[in-house]
Structure formats: structure tokens, C-alpha cells
Amino acid sequence: MDQILRYWRAIRSAVRASCSKGLVGTFEFWVVVTLIAIAAGGVFFLTLYNDEVAQNGEFGQHGVITLGQVVNESTCSNGTRFGHEYCYDILFTTANGEQVVFGARGLTSYRAGLGVLPKTMFVQYLPYRPTSARLAGDSGEGGLLLALGLAMTGFALFCLFGLIRAQVAWYSMQELLEHLESLIDKRCFDEAVDFAMGNSNLEDRDTLLATLILRLFELKEVHHAQQILAREDIPDLEKAFQAQGMEIR
């Protein structure tokens, strides 16, 4: 419960800070919008995959196979490195004598003519909805749709979770720094050291100690700063100072 409350406070603080700066103008806002758009695209592909699976099941259970023939052919696209893509109009007759024309696409290789549909081929249709037809054996592109959907949705959720964790860590540190600053303002330097040393997160502890020592030097409290640095239980703060662009001499 405490962790959930921390996340909620961090997200609420981030929203308030963004609103105070002008929400639409913040970098975080556009990152979130982009990730949501990617996630929406992933959900869209997963929805198409679900429809594809349902359609394959429907054809597998109720589909009727019959013979069809090409009645029209046109170029859908050309000039690709793999060859010309053609659109075909295919005519077939249902068991009830109804004639139906549906469209199919095929790729023609420049060299071998691969993918060219013959004049007659087997097609599959649904007897109660004959306009839903396809070439026999065609199962659509379910694998590609599933891969795209999972990849886009997973990437967006992973990035959103990472962004939330980063916001939580940043605002948690701001709360720690505010408390440390209040102790410094009260000149409770020993309590400030104990507060920093009591942090279980080693990176946060080093950051708080480095901030405390820098603030003491800024306040001309050199004696107190040197006392802290001289303590045996104080860790090596060289990396913490370097992270803030300073060095211990």
C-alpha cells in the first residue's frame, strides 16, 4: 500500500508540475502521447489478429471449396525490387447458382513469374455469406499482425512503466532533499547527517551526503563540512561529487 501511495503522489506531482509549466509544452507530455499512440496501434493490430483468428475458425468450420476463375487483372503496384503486384477479380459460382466476384492480390517475379495466379483455381467461401471468399488455403497474415501488436503494445507499456518509475524516483528524491534542506535551515547538521546516512538506498544516501556537504560549504560552514568528511562511517563521496560536476580536493 505504501508503494502504491508513493506512485500515486509522484504521478500527481508530475501532472501538477506539467500543468504549471503548460502541459502541452512539456517534453514528458509528448513522450506519453507518443507511447499511448504506439500502444493504441498495437491494440489495433491485436484486434485485427483476433478478427483474423475468428475468420479462420469460421472458414475452417463452415467454408465451402469450389472452383473459381480470373476474370480481370490489373497492376496494383510496380517497380518494386521483388516484382509487380497484381490485383485479380475472381469469379465463382455457389452451390445455389449465385455468381460472386471477389478480389485477390498476387506478386509476380520479374525472373520466374512466381505468384502468378492461373486462370482457374480453388476458392473457399461461406455459404451463408458468399461475398466472404478467399483463395483456398489462404489463412491471412495472422502471425504478422500478432507480432506487430505484441511488439508495439509491449514496447509502449515497458516505456510507460519506466517513465513512471523515473518520475517516482525523481519526486522521492525531491522530498528527501526538501527535508534535508529544512534540517540545514534549522542548523541541525548532525541530524542532517543521520538523516542522509539512514537512507537504505546507497545512491540516494551518497547524493544526500554530497548535497549536505556542498550546502555547508556554500553557507561558509567549512568546519562542519570537514567534520563530516572526517567521519569514518562516511562513504567515499567522490562519485557523488563528480555526478554534480565537482571534485573533492
Q: Which helix (H) or strand (E) holds 237?
A: none
At 117 the pLDDT is 64
Q: Return d(Cα 133, Cα 27) in angstroms, integer.
A: 48
Longest dimension (CA), the chain: 102
Tens of pLDDT, residues 113-130: 445 566 788 888 998 988
Q: Which residue has the higher pLDDT, 104 or 106?
A: 104
Write the DSSP symbol of residue 70: E
In this structure, the chain runs to a length of: 249
DSSP strand pairing (99-108 vs 120-126): unpaired
Mean pLDDT of 205-228: 82
Q: Are 228 and 213 in contact (CB under 8 A)?
A: yes
DSSP strand pairing (129-135 vs 120-126): antiparallel
Which CA distances in Å does 109 have to 79, 82, 87, 141? 11, 6, 14, 20
Q: Are 129 and 137 in contact (CB under 8 A)?
A: no
Alpha helices in the chain (DSSP H): 2-21, 27-62, 142-185, 189-197, 202-218, 222-230, 238-243
Please give the torsion angle defined by the CA atoms of residues 93, 99, 103 and 107, in that order, rounded to the nearest 10 degrees: 40
Q: Return d(Cα 137, Cα 100) in angstroms, integer.
A: 19
At 4 the pLDDT is 44
Q: Return d(Cα 51, Cα 55) in angstroms, integer.
A: 6
Q: Return d(Cα 188, Cα 205) in angstroms, integer.
A: 17
What's the mean pLDDT when you consider all of the chain? 76
At 80 the pLDDT is 56
